[in-house]
Structure 1
Amino acid sequence: MTSDDLYPVTRLAAVREATRRAGIDALLLTPGPDLRYVTGYNALPLERLTCLVVPVAGEPFLVVPRLELAAAEHSPASRLGIEFAPWDETDDPYALVAARLGRVATVGLADRMWAMSTLRFRDALPGAKQVLAGSVLRELRMRKSPAEAAALAEAGAAIDAVHAQVPGFLRAGRTEREVGRDIADAIIAAGHDTVDFVIVGSGPNGASPHHELSDRVIQAGEPVVVDIGGQMPSGYCSDSTRVYCVGEPPAEFAAYYEVLMAAQEAACAAVRPGATCASIDAAAREVIADAGYGERFIHRTGHGIGLETHEEPYIVAGNDEPLAPGFAFSVEPGIYVPGAHGARIEDIVICTEEGGDRLNHTPRTLTVV
């Protein structure tokens, strides 16, 4: 899997055509996942403007600070055959973009564009309506290519290797923060470029789905929710949650953990082309509700994943988007009992022609350490 496979030169033309069909005159893509998706260039997010301009009428060009020109030229963007337009410290790069674009009615701005740049573009292009570039890119980014699926599988294997080490980090008397540091080191050692998040929720902290690491001391007999992820050198992300228990679990916890495993299995089994995102959510939620824990499942069942840990599609009630081959997303139902404990089981799943392919393979049964 090469950069050419992950970020093919044909992608720019596909984006340009999608922009035309959407009735948008130009896309303005600043550093972030949208720019990287289109060009492969993982540009630094700086106060100095870097911006890929993709006009429907005219040729694309990359506006870049002169001091970042060498980095851009050595990035995958250099394969695209587009003009690099460097600007100097005393130039106004927003005026440069406006002058080259001319009169445009609508521009699509990168979804993660800084407000500073958004407002500067509003002033430089006062007659242009601003919309989100995501309205153009979402359909492309949701459908992962075989190379993107392979990159996500590589990320899944890397985070699985970390989960395999977690039992060795967990023991009574250690703090969540101490365990979290070991996990963060293991995420990098497993091949990730960055650690995106480490959740170690022990005992009652497991009832908070996005618990931050704390100095709480892990006690014997407590369940521990471990939700971890990072970004690989490819740019693609990992995300997986498993639950451990330091000694034998409380009886109430053991009972609802069995329900949770059944719910996660039901949701994964429901993945197939044409099934809606809402139906996958419902498959998990029905099992949990039928067992009497419906009010304890307080979040959506999943989120898309790719160059961002959270991206479209979202696996949630009300989202009637039909799944298609190449859609990649988490399946992560949870049950949370405030003041006591909680549990979540999470795998990344890719929709295939036949159904769903799980990318995480560590045991989903409760691991007692």
Structure 2
Amino acid sequence: MNRRKFIENSALAGSGIALVGATSCASTEQSDQQIKIESITDGIEFINAQDRTQRIEQASKLMQQHQFDAIFVESGTSLEYFTGIKWWPSERLTGVLIFSDATLKYIGPAFEKERLEEMITLPGDVASWEEHENPFQLVAQLFKDKSGATATLGIEENVRFFQSDGIASFLGQTTILNAKPITAGCRAVKTPKELALMKKANEITLEAYRIGFSKLKEGISQYELSAIVAEASTALGATEAGWAGAMFGEYTAFPHGSKTAQQLKEGDLVLIDGGCKLGGYQADITRTTIFGKPTQRQQDIWNIVKEAQTAVYEQAKAGVPCEQLDATARAIVDKHGFGNGYENFFHRVGHGIGMDFHEWEYLVKGNSTPMQPGMCFSNEPGIYIYGEFGVRLEDCFYITENGYEAFTPQSPSIENPI
């Protein structure tokens, strides 16, 4: 099951828990099954048109540096990042050409033109196409009219193939390149405002976990726990509903959960992996705890995973290759007898994070990219033993001029996860 969709079918009404937002609470007297929650987002500044103008200017500088004449970005996260336009990807092309002189040309279906114009906060021409017309030809013509037939166009790497292929078929001698040096060059290094949004999103997520853990009881299902955490995230101020994949007992060995229905019982490990979104920016946290008292083996493996996470932090600084952090965590796991490649530590130790859960750069063997100040990552070592249990601890951090800063503190212990 895709962990991003893990809780979509959760039956919140069946959880038996009422999470009451402060503004909707009629009385300060709550039942034992109710939790009064207040938003914790006061004072947060959100991304505005001025910020996006600066992003376009940075993209312009990078295009000139890398000799791009323009880049094409379709509906998706990068379109929102550069223009603020949230547009659902469909078979109908909607996007923007960003030129090296920092001018914009928006493209969309003619019947959606008014809606597209409503969303525009940065100036630029709007070109539309009727249902019988070819939008790929339109994009190519707009590019060539401004940049020439032999110019260089970057295609954002997440543009779907049918669109990039369609545009390319009308470009003739134009050079087409991956726009990653521009898009990742802008998005991978976060500004202080972005970092503040991410920090608060992670704080909301951790508090939602605390609420969820406080409601653990014999027989609760993984879906009920997921629903409690998701609703708590919204009540705490998340601008987009949080998700939480919950796993119990032997199913904690499935890194992203199992479709098997689970009911909590004494002695089970409980693993929650999830995050909310605030102002377009993601959180991602994993906690593993025990319902009851841990066995010595559970305790030992939990301690190994925390040792690995701590060792990763000790290596986190500007200039260090991304792959070094993965090797550091793997060496700790291997030292304790759970190594041998990916045998019990199934995945890389971390990924970039920002507006997307997973984005540039990845902390994995073979990625020699040096970390830079402002880059954000997850730190999530794990040990998984199918048929027994798994442990993962995850917090996110960013690189500073002098080392790193974590968005959330490490988990104190298996019995005190927050």
TM-score > 0.5, shorter chain as reference: yes
Alignment of 1:267-278 (within 5 A): 267-278=312-323
Alignment of 1:110-129 (within 5 A): 110-129=156-175
Match of 2:87 among 43, 48, 60: 43
Tell me which moved more, 205-214 or 221-230: 205-214
Q: 1:42 to 1:250 in 2, by over 3 A?
A: same
8 Å CA contact 2:55–2:186 kept in 1: the answer is no
Cα offset for 1:240? 0.2
8 Å CA contact 1:151–1:236 kept in 2: the answer is yes
Q: Partner residue of 1:172? A: 218
8 Å CA contact 1:163–1:362 kept in 2: the answer is no
Counterpart-to-counterpart distance in 2, 1:327 and 1:180: 29
Q: Partner residue of 1:242? A: 287
Match of 2:399 among 336, 351, 358: 351
Q: Partner residue of 1:28? A: 72
Q: 1:159 to 1:184 in 2, by over 3 A?
A: same
Q: Partner residue of 1:280? A: 325
TM-score, normalised to structure 2, is 0.81
Q: Partner residue of 2:335? A: 290
Q: Partner residue of 2:208? A: 162
Counterpart-to-counterpart distance in 1, 2:140 and 2:256: 42
Cα offset for 1:6? 7.8
8 Å CA contact 1:34–1:111 kept in 2: the answer is no
Q: Partner residue of 1:333? A: 381
8 Å CA contact 2:252–2:389 kept in 1: the answer is yes
Counterpart-to-counterpart distance in 1, 2:177 and 2:324: 30
Tell me which moved more, 219-228 or 17-26: 17-26
Alignment of 1:126-205 (within 5 A): 126-195=172-241, 197-205=243-251
Indicate the percent of aligned positions where both proteins have the same amino acid: 28
Counterpart-to-counterpart distance in 2, 1:182 and 1:117: 40
Q: Partner residue of 1:96? A: 138
Structure 1 residue 365 corresponds to structure 2 residue 409: no
Q: 1:168 to 1:138 in 2, by over 3 A?
A: same
8 Å CA contact 2:156–2:183 kept in 1: the answer is no
8 Å CA contact 2:309–2:393 kept in 1: the answer is yes
Alignment of 1:67-78 (within 5 A): 67-75=111-119, 77-78=120-121
Tell me which moved more, 172-181 or 183-192: 183-192
Q: 1:351 to 1:297 in 2, by over 3 A?
A: same
Tell me which moved more, 60-69 or 259-268: 60-69
Secondary structure of 2:169's aligned partner: helix
Could you list the per-position Cα deviations for residues 49-102 of structure 1 after superposition, in whole angstroms to 9, with x for gaps in the alignment? 211112347942111234433443343x42x22222233434332222222222
Secondary structure of 2:238's aligned partner: coil
Q: Structure 2 stretches of 5 or more lacking a match?
A: 1-44
Q: Partner residue of 2:3? A: none
Could you list the per-position Cα deviations for residues 256-290 of structure 1 after superposition, in whole angstroms to 9, with x for gaps in the alignment? 11111111112112211122212222222222221
Q: Partner residue of 2:61? A: 17
Could you list the per-position Cα deviations for residues 23-64 of structure 1 after superposition, in whole angstroms to 9, with x for gaps in the alignment? 333211001112122222222223222111123479421112
Q: 1:157 to 1:54 in 2, by over 3 A?
A: same
Cα offset for 1:197? 4.3
Q: Structure 1 stretches of 5 or more lacking a match?
A: none
Counterpart-to-counterpart distance in 2, 1:206 and 1:224: 7
1:242 maps to a residue whose letter is R
CA RMSD in angstroms comes to 2.3
Question: How many residue pairs were aligned?
Answer: 366
Structure 1 residue 265 corresponds to structure 2 residue 307: no
Q: 1:126 to 1:364 in 2, by over 3 A?
A: farther
TM-score, normalised to structure 1, is 0.91
Structure 1 residue 310 corresponds to structure 2 residue 346: no
Q: Partner residue of 1:231? A: 277
Secondary structure of 2:257's aligned partner: coil
Cα offset for 1:5? 7.4
Counterpart-to-counterpart distance in 2, 1:304 and 1:58: 27
Secondary structure of 2:140's aligned partner: helix
Secondary structure of 1:255's aligned partner: helix
Q: Partner residue of 2:5? A: none
8 Å CA contact 1:282–1:317 kept in 2: the answer is yes
Could you list the per-position Cα deviations for residues 141-186 of structure 1 after superposition, in whole angstroms to 9, with x for gaps in the alignment? 1111111111111211111121111213322212212222222222
Secondary structure of 2:233's aligned partner: helix
Match of 1:219 among 237, 256, 265: 265
Secondary structure of 2:366's aligned partner: coil
1:160 maps to a residue whose letter is L
Counterpart-to-counterpart distance in 2, 1:202 and 1:59: 52
Structure 1 residue 319 corresponds to structure 2 residue 364: no
Q: Partner residue of 1:206? A: 252
Secondary structure of 2:294's aligned partner: coil
1:108 maps to a residue whose letter is G
Counterpart-to-counterpart distance in 2, 1:240 and 1:283: 20
Cα offset for 1:199? 1.7
Cα offset for 1:104? 4.2
